[in-house]
Chains A and B, each alone.
Chain A
Amino acid sequence: EAQVTQNPRYLITVTGKKLTVTCSQNMNHEYMSWYRQDPGLGLRQIYYSMNVEVTDKGDVPEGYKVSRKEKRNFPLILESPSPNQTSLYFCASSLSGDSNQPQHFGDGTRLSIL
């Protein structure tokens, strides 16, 4: 089954404790992206990746890192999480980054930073 898989689905942690949210897709997609969703703000893009070893900032990249060492994986790293990063996070992938390619989303990761 074609899918985007995020882990963990839920995480409660404390300020400053490094964490990684994994994202994996099995559709051989070149383009992958991370979004965060907050009440009243909709979906905002954090980082995106056009292909392996190619990443770029989205609208809200501060406090986040990403890497794209393999085509299927695009982990999101919070080196020193802070409470303002408490949010619902979605990973997405598409065949390419062109706007004629629909994005496939994971089920989301709810992070709570205390």
Chain B
Amino acid sequence: LAKTTQPISMDSYEGQEVNITCSHNNIATNDYITWYQQFPSQGPRFIIQGYKTKVTNEVASLFIPADRKSSTLSLPRVSLSDTAVYYCLVGDGYGLTGGGNKLTFGTGTQLKVEL
């Protein structure tokens, strides 16, 4: 079972870059790493996903080292509206041919952005 570990909370100020690291020592060969953002009383929202090296989209970057045992979500120049819980998700890697696939969320990181 590929569990994840993240910091419980982080604080930042507007305009700064924020890096949140997720540890996933037991990641399987076929697993992708996915990050979600969640605001209070809303469902999680997909941010970014990657398999290895670096992925960048319009809102974030994801850095994955060669051993894939961790990943870092990078949010450039955060604003107050980035205050949310961020979840790192790694699949169990069974795949459609393996008889089942249970996706497990980590504990999440509460990011608080201040002025």
Which among A41, A104, A108 is the interface contact of B41 at CB below 8 angstroms?
A108
> CB within 8 Å of B: which of A48-79?
48, 50, 56, 58-59
A98 CB contacts on chain B under 8 angstroms: 30, 32, 91, 95-96, 101
Number of interface residues of A (CB under 8 A): 30
- Is the contact region of chain B dominated by helix, strand, or loop, or is it mixed? loop
Which among A43, A104, A107, A108 is the interface contact of B105 at CB below 8 angstroms?
A43
Which among B41, B42, B93 is the interface contact of A99 at CB below 8 angstroms?
B93
Q: Pick the most buried of A41, A97, A106: most chain B CB atoms within 10 A of its CB.
A: A97
Do B87 and A96 touch across chains, with their CB atoms under 8 A apart?
no
Do B43 and A59 touch across chains, with their CB atoms under 8 A apart?
no
Do A35 and B101 touch across chains, with their CB atoms under 8 A apart?
no
Q: How far is the CB of A97 from chain B (nearest CB, A)?
A: 3
- The chain A residue with its CB closest to the CB of B106 is A42
* Bound Cα distance from A107 to B43, whole angstroms: 5
Is A92 among interface residues, defined by CB-CB distance under 8 A?
yes
* Bound Cα distance from A88 to B32, whole angstroms: 27
A106 CB contacts on chain B under 8 angstroms: 43
A residues near B (Cβ < 8 Å) are: 4, 31, 33, 35, 41-45, 48, 50, 56, 58-59, 88, 90, 92, 96-100, 102-108, 110
B residues near A (Cβ < 8 Å) are: 30-34, 36, 41-46, 49, 51, 87, 89-93, 95-96, 100-108
13 other A-B residue contacts (CB within 8 Å) besides A97-B103, A98-B32, A99-B33: A31-B101, A41-B107, A42-B106, A43-B108, A96-B101, A97-B95, A97-B100, A98-B30, A98-B95, A98-B101, A105-B45, A106-B43, A108-B43
